[in-house]
Amino acid sequence: MTMEVSAEQGRTENFTALLGSGWYSPWTPPPPSASPPTEEKDGGADRIRAVAESGFAALAVPREFGGSGAGLVEVASAQRALGTADPSAAIALNMHSFTVGLMTDYWLRHRDTSWMLLEGIAGSQALVASAFAEPGGSPNFMSSRSSATETGKGYVVSGTKYPCSLASTATLVCLTAHIEASDETILALCPAGSPGLTVEGDWPSLGMTASDTARLVLRDVELDERLVFHRGPADVVDDTVVSGMVWFAVLLSATYHGILTSLLDLAFRQVSASGQYGPRANLLGRATRELLAFGGACRQLGHDFEDGRISGHAALAAAVALRATLSDVRDRVVSALTPVVGSRLYTRGHPAAGLLVDSMAAHHHPPSLLVCDRVVADHSTGRDIGFDPVG
């Protein structure tokens, strides 16, 4: 029996090493808690807090401000590692990683007072919720239906953000809002305990049950001017829009690479334990090939953007292309593995079923596939980039 288990471990380790090559990070997931899962009671909040307190929250913050100074690919590697261990939490925390990464990139380009916000995040290991999504959706993540009225000291913000992960665990909320009587939008941090900011209900999704996702409602929330780190026209593709899209696409792709790697690992172990591969070997190889190529593309875009080899509209087109490819790869991997894993994929409570449902969220994230193809086509044909799929 010992020799049989060792042989199985050797075969799966080959697969794990192949798909894990090139991913590196200063952070590793904490060991799973010995206590039973608590997502039914707290939406996964305890698990999310445990990850944040393990050093995850300050990964992207520069070292001079108390963080780990991890770059885009290093943070993506951490997201991938968390995706293999805890998919729901990884999808939720991806929004924190994206927001802090965007803020760091903004500070590196502008060298403004936003360093104080980064220092505060690192000092308290604060989680930052990304409150961009709104009921009805928007093809441009910088546009917003929420309103911001200027005051002498900042803004008064009202609106609804939904769905919003980390709704109850976040210390800060990064949000967008349209400035009344203008064509501009603000990008700002709002303390979660601000008067007028409430968490209402939850998100009745099939998966992501441990993502702490709910509805945030802002009713005349006062926002200090010092918490605003970007202001500009929502329909202009500036450096902030480009950086945000690249960070989001790379981190999102790495997260789902980890989730799909876990599903593939489960399939490998199932077949290896039986000792009978047959036609299933080709299906396993196909799924591995898909993830191997996709992971390489994800890391390449991250490295190219960090090194300045791609920027501007070209970087934006590459980012939305990667995001669209994520949906395609997810479906092709699941299609290849369905005959291998069999009915376990549809058995309530089985790990394979959980991974299947969580991976479906890859199709939910913005931009929509129609918008992605529109952006790539616009850039490739020399037209002005638009985020409206029917415009």
- Positive or negative, the CA dihedral 342, 345, 346, 351 is positive
- For the entire predicted model, the pTM comes to 0.93
| Nearest one of 387, 361, 358, 357 to 375, comparing CA atoms | 387
| Nearest one of 175, 184, 189, 179 to 132, comparing CA atoms | 175
- Residue 77's Cβ-count burial label (10 Å; 0-12, 13-18, 19+) is buried
What pLDDT is stored for residue 386 in this prediction? 79
Letter for the amino acid at 34?
A: A
- The DSSP code for 33 is P
Q: Return the axis-axis angle of helices 369-380 and 312-341, rounded to nearest 10°.
A: 140
Report angle CA 231, 378, 94 to the nearest 5 degrees.
Answer: 50
Residues in the chain: 391
What pairs with residue 172 in β-bridges? 128, 191
Structural contact between residues 160 and 218, judged by C-beta atoms closer than 8 angstroms: yes
What pLDDT is stored for residue 141 in this prediction? 61
Along the 391 residues of the chain, how does pLDDT read in single tens digits?
333 444 555 556 787 889 999 999 889 888 765 444 444 456 788 889 999 889 999 999 999 999 999 999 999 999 999 999 999 999 999 999 999 999 999 999 999 888 999 999 999 999 999 999 998 766 666 678 999 999 999 999 999 999 999 999 999 999 999 999 999 999 999 999 999 999 998 788 888 888 999 999 999 999 999 999 889 887 788 898 899 999 999 999 999 999 999 999 999 999 988 877 889 999 999 999 999 999 999 999 999 999 999 999 999 999 999 999 999 999 999 999 999 999 999 999 999 999 999 999 999 898 888 889 999 999 999 998 877 766 6
Q: Provide the token pair at 56.
A: 């995850």
What pairs with residue 215 in β-bridges? 200
| Nearest one of 143, 150, 173, 124 to 224, comparing CA atoms | 150
- Residue 38's Cβ-count burial label (10 Å; 0-12, 13-18, 19+) is middle
What pLDDT is stored for residue 37 in this prediction? 47
Report angle CA 371, 373, 377 to the nearest 5 degrees.
Answer: 115
Report helix, strand or coil for 217.
strand
What pLDDT is stored for residue 245 in this prediction? 95
**d(C-alpha 24, C-alpha 78), whole Å:** 8
Which segments of the chain does DSSP mark as H helices, in order? 2-20, 39-42, 45-51, 72-85, 87-110, 115-124, 239-274, 280-307, 312-341, 351-359, 369-380
What pLDDT is stored for residue 39 in this prediction? 44
Structural contact between residues 214 and 164, judged by C-beta atoms closer than 8 angstroms: yes
**d(C-alpha 339, C-alpha 131), whole Å:** 39
What pLDDT is stored for residue 30 in this prediction? 82
